[in-house]
Chain A
Amino acid sequence: MLIGKPSEIPSSAITPKDQYLNRRRFLRGAAAAGVAALGAERVSRLISPGMDALAGARLQTVKSGLTTTGEDLTSMNDVTHYNNYYEFGVEKTEPAEHAGVLPTRPWTIRVDGKVAKPRTFDIEDLLKLRPLEDRVYRHRCVEAWSMVIPWVGYSLWEFIKLCEPLSTAKYVQFLSYYDAKVELWASRSNIRWPYSEGLRMDEALNPLTLLTFGLYGEVLPNQNGAPVRIVVPWKYGFKSAKSIVAVHFLDHQPPTTWNDMSPGEYGFYSNVNPGVDHPRWSQKAERRIGEPFYKAGRGTLIYNGYGSAVASMYDGMNLKKYF
């Protein structure tokens, strides 16, 4: 069906740019527009992997002083095929199968609330805002498994500076992309969408909190939260919101998805802490993804091992109460 006579008209003149950037949408649009009009050579190039600005494309990166050393990286295959992204299904393998439909271009982040002036940022501008750093972080899921992931991004505070938050802004809320017509799997679980997460202002400004655009030196695969997410390495993974479309600066603690679903199990803070068990399982140990079953287990570190950079933010706080 995709084989047609080469045409005089360049395909870019027929297909809007945002459509031919996204393979899935391109294919859908092309089918409707009449595929025969498109040159065969062009088509083969478009459907090959590694397109501009899409998952798999290389990013220009620099070294980072805030990277984690002394850990073996989790394989890229495991990082990208063992995901919790419930909008694309609740099984770990589902996001990799389904997230291809996520339209990552065009993409904007709406910023409002306690800021000097509400603004909308375009993903292309955000990618150019600061040099993209390679940052290896341990990633500890609340389900007691962990990975070591080489993320690509820059500290969130660089972006927050640009947002000009007012002094009354005490919390930041992150909202993830949600479209029931695209994320058909979201309605299979009884969760209120869109996914919402939040941080206290000092947590959001901590240099370790990463505004993330890629992993393994490449553009984020959709199932890992493309095109832009946050990574908060000293907290359980669910705090690191994916595919962010809105950032609200607030004077109060925002409602967050898992905390709303089950406040006794998922605290607002959710700092990694082997001393505070999840009601259903112990958090003292974790399973390192990719290791064989007989040596996957290892002890969990307080603040996931990032205490020297973050512990002072919680001085005097009862970590059992504010878990």
Chain B
Amino acid sequence: MKRSTLILLKTGTWVACLWEFALLVYRAVMNTLGPDPVAKMALTTGYTTLVLLIVSLGITPVRKLVPKLNWLIKFRRLLGLFAFFYATVHLLTYVALYAGFDVNTMITDITKRRFIMSGMAAFLLLLPLAATSTTWAIRKLGGKNWNRLHKLAYVAAVCGIVHYWWQVKPGVLSPLRMTVVLGLLLLARPVLAVVQRRKVRAA
């Protein structure tokens, strides 16, 4: 890929990833977030986190299926970090607007409510991944260890989806679509690994 194309695509990715956040900030300033601005912020940031996380997890299977798209790897870190960014904003909306910075409220929520617990677990799992996202950290850890550690992204995504299911009312199936996609991604890894092994043996 040409360097100019890469720069163009990266810029596009930045704009796409920042879009929802910019829109939220703009609407918050203009006071046009709708009837329930607090819920709007929480839901938008939470949903975007999951979308970005799932897209970033989709890159490896897509590369294996379509070797021509190998260059997609250049975008995975960016997408992962943006997922972490939205998760952080999501957490901040909870801390500031739901818990009102009240430590006791937060402790009660985290210990008593599984819906909050699962969300918090997802965030805590993303934390070491964001911290070790630099090239320096990859070198320091060694590719193998780094890869192993970053498998946690799958666990974080599962926690996030569970958090989503536990947030909606019973009977509401809104998280279903995302769950199916994540399920396919989780299946894709072992399936593709088996296929590849067979190919190697056949050769």
Are B171 and A261 in contact (CB-based, < 8 A)? yes
A292 in complex: contacting residue of B31, B108, B168, B174, CB < 8 Å: B31
Are A78 and B35 in contact (CB-based, < 8 A)? yes
A92 in complex: contacting residue of B36, B113, B168, B172, CB < 8 Å: B36
Looking at chain A, what size class is its interface with the partner chain? 20 to 34
Which residues from chain A contact B128 at a C-beta distance below 8 Å? none
Which residues from chain A contact B169 at a C-beta distance below 8 Å? 90, 258, 261-262
Task: Report Cα–Cα, A280/B37, bound state, in Å.
Answer: 20
Are A189 and B173 in contact (CB-based, < 8 A)? yes
Which residues from chain A contact B95 at a C-beta distance below 8 Å? none
Are B36 and A145 in contact (CB-based, < 8 A)? yes
Chain A 256-292 near chain B by CB (<8 Å), digits 1 or 0: 0010011001000000000000011110010101111
A287 in complex: contacting residue of B38, B114, B168, B171, CB < 8 Å: B38
Which residues from chain A contact B33 at a C-beta distance below 8 Å? 293
Chain B 118-136 near chain A by CB (<8 Å), digits 1 or 0: 0000000000000000000
Q: Which chain A residues (58-112) contact chain B, with CB distance < 8 Å?
A: 78, 81-82, 86, 90, 92
Question: In the complex where A261-B170, A280-B113, A292-B31 touch, is A287 in contact with B39 (Cβ < 8 A)?
Answer: yes
Taking the complex as formed, is A188 at the interface, i.e. its CB lies under 8 A from any CB of chain B? Answer: yes
> Distance (Å) between the CB of A75 and the closest chain B CB?
8
Which residues from chain A contact B174 at a C-beta distance below 8 Å? 90
12 additional contacts, CB 8 Å, given A82-B34, A280-B115, A291-B37?
Answer: A81-B35, A90-B169, A189-B173, A261-B171, A281-B115, A285-B100, A289-B35, A289-B36, A292-B37, A293-B33, A293-B38, A293-B41
Task: Report Cα–Cα, A92/B36, bound state, in Å.
Answer: 10
Taking the complex as formed, is B147 at the interface, i.e. its CB lies under 8 A from any CB of chain A? Answer: no
Taking the complex as formed, is A305 at the interface, i.e. its CB lies under 8 A from any CB of chain B? Answer: no
Task: Report Cα–Cα, A291/B166, bound state, in Å.
Answer: 27
Q: Which chain B residues (145-203) contact chain A, with CB distance < 8 Å?
A: 166-174
Taking the complex as formed, is B138 at the interface, i.e. its CB lies under 8 A from any CB of chain A? Answer: no
Taking the complex as formed, is A308 at the interface, i.e. its CB lies under 8 A from any CB of chain B? Answer: no
Question: In the complex where A261-B170, A262-B170 touch, is A297 in contact with B35 (Cβ < 8 A)?
Answer: no
Which residues from chain A contact B35 at a C-beta distance below 8 Å? 78, 81-82, 92, 289-290
Taking the complex as formed, is B18 at the interface, i.e. its CB lies under 8 A from any CB of chain A? Answer: no
Which residues from chain B contact A167 at a C-beta distance below 8 Å? none
Which residues from chain B contact A281 at a C-beta distance below 8 Å? 98, 109, 113, 115
> Distance (Å) between the CB of B116 and the closest chain A CB?
8
Question: In the complex where A279-B113, A293-B28 touch, is A145 in contact with B170 (Cβ < 8 A)?
Answer: no
> Distance (Å) between the CB of A287 and the closest chain B CB?
5
Residues in chain B within 8 A of chain A (CB atoms): 28, 31, 33-39, 41, 97-98, 100, 105, 108-109, 113-115, 166-174
Report the nearest B residue to A257, measured CB to CB: B171
Task: Report Cα–Cα, A297/B37, bound state, in Å.
Answer: 11
Which residues from chain A contact B168 at a C-beta distance below 8 Å? 90
Question: In the complex where A188-B173, A189-B172, A297-B97 touch, is A280 in contact with B167 (Cβ < 8 A)?
Answer: yes
B37 in complex: contacting residue of A265, A282, A296, CB < 8 Å: A296
Which residues from chain B contact A285 at a C-beta distance below 8 Å? 100
> Distance (Å) between the CB of B41 and the closest chain A CB?
7
Which residues from chain A contact B36 at a C-beta distance below 8 Å? 82, 92, 145, 287, 289, 296
Q: Which chain A residues (23-76) contact chain B, with CB distance < 8 Å?
A: none
Taking the complex as formed, is A318 at the interface, i.e. its CB lies under 8 A from any CB of chain B? Answer: no
Task: Report Cα–Cα, A121/B79, bound state, in Å.
Answer: 60
Task: Report Cα–Cα, A57/B46, bound state, in Å.
Answer: 40
Are A90 and B37 in contact (CB-based, < 8 A)? no
> Distance (Å) between the CB of A274 and the closest chain B CB?
13
> Distance (Å) between the CB of A77 and the closest chain B CB?
8
Taking the complex as formed, is A312 at the interface, i.e. its CB lies under 8 A from any CB of chain B? Answer: no
Are B37 and A189 in contact (CB-based, < 8 A)? no
> Distance (Å) between the CB of A257 and the closest chain B CB?
9
